[in-house]
Structure 1
Amino acid sequence: MSQHPGPNAPTMPSDVDGDISMFDRFATTAAGFVSKAWFFMLCVLLVLLWAPSYFLLPDVDTWQLIINTATTIVTFLLVALLQNTQRRADDAVQHKLNAIADGLSDLMGHIGMESADLRRDRDELRAAVGLEDHESAK
């Protein structure tokens, strides 16, 4: 694989740090937990248990406040966790695409030395994905 010098070089999958923070591990576990069908059924069950509490509470405002508060808190926390896992998934895909583009660019460079069209296409690819020129081992 080619080396990309400079601070603006795209990150390759092999350059990604394998250390995952405690929060990232928690977010991944939580995302796996809440994406299961039984979690959805648990949420439905909670709503079904909440609905008849209308008859036990002194007024409708208290009854509505309970479900509104609970759903707002859960939604707020889940959005933060799921956004974390989505961002990391997007970053991983981008790293893989950078590696593919770099490999394709190298291949185009090796087989297209005598073709002006292929060299131009290679330059367009490198510019489109932000790959820097680097020294090749000829």
Structure 2
Amino acid sequence: MGNDDRPHGAVMPSDVPQRLSWFDRFATTTSGYVSHAWFFVACVLLVVVWAPSIFVFGTVDTWQLVINTLTSIVTFLLVALLQNTQKRADEAVQHKLNAIADGLSDLMEHVGGEDPDVDRDRRELRRAVGLEDRESSA
């Protein structure tokens, strides 16, 4: 069923656009790489290589500045990318939960018939997940 066939106008997971922007694809790929153990090992190796480099830089200040700058930049960029990925994952879960709640509401309406208790529970379910708000704004 598409959105046009839905009696309550809930967005179904299959109705959510699957096309991702280049940034979303890049963030997803990056998230996949940094979530593996080898990325952590690479970070540890970077610190192991950096530690004896104090002899190359000559001063402790320069030596610390190098690692602080590097880790700050990497952290800043990774937080932005991972936030993008997490936001999309949260939205996908929300769409799925909304679809389940909408289906349950439809089932309660069909099975409950004129039972006022079931109708009250159905309305409460729709309000709890915000389906009533989406109906009025659609």
Per the TM superposition, whether the score is higher than 0.5 is yes
Alpha-carbon separation, structure 2, partners of 1:45 and 1:29: 22
Alignment partner, residue 122 of structure 1: 122
Q: Any unmatched runs of 5+ in structure 1?
A: none
Quote how far apart the aligned CAs of 1:73 are. 0.3
Q: Which has the higher contact order (CA 8 A, sep 6+)?
A: 1
| DSSP 3-state at the match of 1:103 | helix
Structure 2 gap ranges (5+) = none
TM-score normalised by length of structure 1:
0.88
In 2: Cα distance, 1:49 partner to 1:28 partner? 29
Q: Deviations over 1:14-55 (max 9, x none)?
A: 220111111111110000001110110000000000000112
Is the contact made by 2:12 and 2:95 (CA closer than 8 Å) also made in structure 1? yes
Helix, strand or coil at the partner of 1:17: coil
Q: CA RMSD in A?
A: 1.8
Structure number with higher helix proportion: 2
- 1:77 to 1:37, Cα distance in 2 relative to 1, 3 A: same
- Extract structure 1 runs of 4+ deviating beyond 3 A: none
Give the share of equivalent positions with the same residue, in percent: 69
Taking structure 2 as the reference length, what is the TM-score of the superposition? Answer: 0.88
- Paired amino acid for 1:45: L
Letter in 1 for 2:14: S
